[in-house]
Amino acid sequence: MDQPISSPRYSTTALLERLVSFDTTSRNSNLALMAFVREYLDAHGVPYRVSLDATGQKANIHAIIGPQAAGGVALSGHVDTVPVDGQSWSADPFALRARDGKLFARGACDMKGFVASCLAAVPDFQARGLARPLHLFISYDEEVGCQGAQRLITDLAESGLAPALCVVGEPSGMKPILAHKGKLNLKVSVRGLPGHSSEPAKGVNAVQAAGEAIAYVAAEARRFAAEGPFEDGFDPPHTTIHVGTISGGTILNIIPEHAEFIMEWRNIPGDDPLHHVERLKAHVARTIEPAMKAVHPDTGFTYQILVEMPGMALGADHELTAVVKQLTGSNNTGKVSYGTEGGFYQNAGIPTIICGPGHIAQAHQPDEWIAQSELDACDGFIRRLADRLLA
């Protein structure tokens, strides 16, 4: 790549080459990558705080350039990635490759490219003598429920060093995204009563009970599409619901004692997914469980929320919207159906916008890539942002 990593000042591409070389799939520790980032920040004299998960194997970094105070702007990016298992890569996923203006590697687009751009700008930020703080949020486990962002928010409350505004650099083609849907993942477990399949009335079939509940989920999906509520700008413009996995039973001639399925809602802002959870529970209690419990009182359904991610919505007339539109040269803003850490930051009282290099269609794929031109555009954007809001 264009500069050796030992150089005190080096390019976004050189930094990206190092960042993608660490396999930070969410199931793995990210401490080796964070040690590299810490060494880099130390070399440039940038103070930072580290917050860890309960295992001590995952770390966030909150660095501040300029006044060590609250306020200013945060640039936020996660460094965990989705797995490469089962994907057909044409070369090593953890070695950056350049071809035809594209850079290929796991995480190049989602979203180590943005993190590399932020780190490459550190010497410039230091040289500017910022009047207000520039925060760098580098987090863990976004891909499995934004666990790192939630831990980072706790640390912000403890330190009192929260920024006034935040830009989450998820891939958006360097276009400002003002809103995204929330998400709630629910595990539904069913307890039946086993028995011989020749005498079905003496048992409770957990798989069939789960199937009845799944039929309700399918009906709800049709209801959302037909009745809403709707919000223009989202695709689709309504809350969605689906079942993603199901398991149960052992062999065909035994009435299944257990079944389980995992489902999700992706809700438009303002549509409370917990309300829909309660609707599901009420439907099951009213229409499915009575027949089960008539056979045996210990049968029935249990529910466990696995992930709850809030939606995000920044006003079209907010100062941050106007600034990001101007600095990116974009006349339009967008809304997306995928979730980000932005909803957590906004819920913590930090107005947040999404704007970052690359496109979501390039993420999570074999031979994931980001265009060099997108990184170049991001490099210019974050420097202009600092000049505009922090000088």
What confidence tens digit (pLDDT) does each residue in 138-175 have?
A: 999 999 999 999 999 999 999 999 999 999 999 999 99
Asked, for residue 6, whether it belongs to a domain, the answer is: no
Task: Find tokens 């696995």 and name the residue.
Answer: 306
- Which one of the listed residues 17, 80, 170, 368 is annotated catalytic? 80
Nearest to 189 by CA among 273, 288, 300, 313: 300
| Boundary (domain end) residue, out of 244, 273, 307 | 307
Which amino acid is located at 195 in the chain?
A: G
DSSP string, 238-304: B-EEEEEEEEE-SSTTB---EEEEEEEEEEPTT--HHHHHHHHHHHHHHHTHHHHHHH-TT-EEEEE
Amino acid at the residue 298: D
- Determine the Cα angle at 337 with ends 51 and 243, to 5°: 90
As a whole number of angstroms, the distance between CA 182 and CA 337 comes to 8
**80 assigned to active site:** yes
For the stretch 45-76, pLDDT in tens is 999 999 999 999 999 999 999 999 999 999 99
Same domain as 242, residue 151? no
Q: Which helix (H) or strand (E) holds 38?
A: helix 31-43
Please check whether residue 3 lies inside any domain of the structure: no
Q: State the pLDDT confidence band at 4, using cuts at 50, 70 and 90.
A: very low
- Do 267 and 342 fall into the same domain? no
**Residue 257 among the catalytic residues:** no
Mark whether 265 and 188 lie in a shared domain. yes
pTM surpassing 0.85?
Answer: yes
CB 30 within 8 A of CB 80: yes
| CA-atom Rg of the chain in angstroms | 24
Q: Of 307, 324, 357, which residue sits at a domain end?
A: 307
Do 318 and 295 share a structural domain?
Answer: no
Predicted local confidence at residue 10, as pLDDT? 87
Please check whether residue 89 lies inside any domain of the structure.
yes
Residue 223 lies in a domain: yes
Domain range for 198? 183-307
17, 110, 142, 368: the active-site residue: 142
Does some domain include residue 231? yes
